[in-house]
Amino acid sequence: MVELDPPDAPHPDVALAVQQVRVRFGATTALDDVSFTARYGGITAILGPNAAGKTTLLRAIAGLIPHDGAVVVAGIDVARLERRERARRIGYVPQHSRLDAPLSVFGVVAQGRYAHRGGVDALRAADRAAIEDALQRVDALDLAARSFAALSHGQRRRVVIARALATGARLLLFDEPTASLDVGHALAFLRLARELADAGAAVVVVLHGLDDARRFADDGVLLDAGQVVTAGPIARVVAAEPVREVYGVELIPDAALGFREAT
């Protein structure tokens, strides 16, 4: 584990510092010189039109694709971390999990403890507590004994989120979590993201809807063609000028339909 030198050391609130990240796929440059920060206790939305590089950026942060530049989590360049150490610091939830096996829900969430206990050790009290806490947070404690394969789409998603929470990571990455959800489920997810952030996590989420981002995120990163157009507080990112520049549309303040969860 290598700590950065004091002059580079970020503010203690900074969970993630993406520094001049560049990703190439063959001759095409998917991400070019991307830099931004995300903080603990906040939701940072990664925004942009189709093919802007949002998912690529999230995958680069998660360590799934090779890149130039640095991804610094809690002051440590993750390239220098051993893979299990990295898994304990970064939780990643893909848009669609490929898991489809009839494992027990408890067993699936227990997979999140792999980075702590390895391939052979039995579950310790701390592991059990983390698993139950994770299930509780996504409101799935009552599903623990069920078979994952028998769950609904929405339940599966909550269990996969619980698995990421069980890693104990304080940086959580979500790839388009609301893309295939109806408005009710999308709101439920965004409320969960807010709860996680309020509990001290740094939530970085790829979103398609600018209205959702505006209402739920604290900060935003607007990408276009692999480059950052603007990054910072969400009100400055989802604003008339950058939206016109990137999407070619006019923002109408307070014009969209608004929804909230029924009480």
Partner 1 sequence: MTPPRLSLPVIAAATGLLVLASLLVGHGALGDGELARTFLELRATRALAAFMSGAALAIGGVALQALFRNPLVDPSILGTTAGASLGGQLAIVAFQLAPGWARPAFLVPEMVLPIGCLAGAVMALAILLAVIRRTRSELAVLLTGFLLSTLFLGIGALLVSMVQDSFELGRAIIAFTLGGVGGAGTRHVLLGLPLVAAAIGALWLWARPLELLLSGEDEALTLGVDVPRVRFWTVAWVAVGTSAAVAIGGNVGFVGLLVPHVMRPVVGVELRRLIPATALVGGAFLVVCDLAVRAAPLRAELPLGVLTGLIGGPLFLVLVLRSQREAAHG
Binding site for partner 1 (CB under 8 A): 59, 62-64, 83-84, 86-88, 90-92, 94, 97-104, 107, 111-112, 114-115, 118-120, 147, 163, 167
Least Å distance between CB 254 and partner 1? 38
Nearer to partner 1, 111 or 227 (CB): 111
Indicate the residue among 108 and 229 with the shorter CB distance to partner 1: 108
Which residue number, 117 or 208, has a Cβ lying nearer to partner 1?
117
Shortest spacing between CB 61 and partner 1, in angstroms: 10
Q: At closest approach, how far in Å is the CB of 104 from partner 1?
A: 8
Beta carbon of residue 164, minimum distance to partner 1 (angstroms, whole number) = 8
Q: From CA 88, how far away is CA 83, in angstroms rounded? A: 9
Can you tell me the distance from the alpha carbon of 84 to that of 112, in angstroms, rounded to the nearest whole number?
11
We find the least distance from the C-beta atom of residue 106 to partner 1, in angstroms, to be 11
Rounded to a whole number of angstroms, the minimum distance from the CB of residue 204 to partner 1 is 13
Q: Which is nearer to partner 1, 58 or 246 (CB)?
A: 58
Nearer to partner 1, 85 or 211 (CB): 85
Closest CB to partner 1 among residues 49, 63: 63
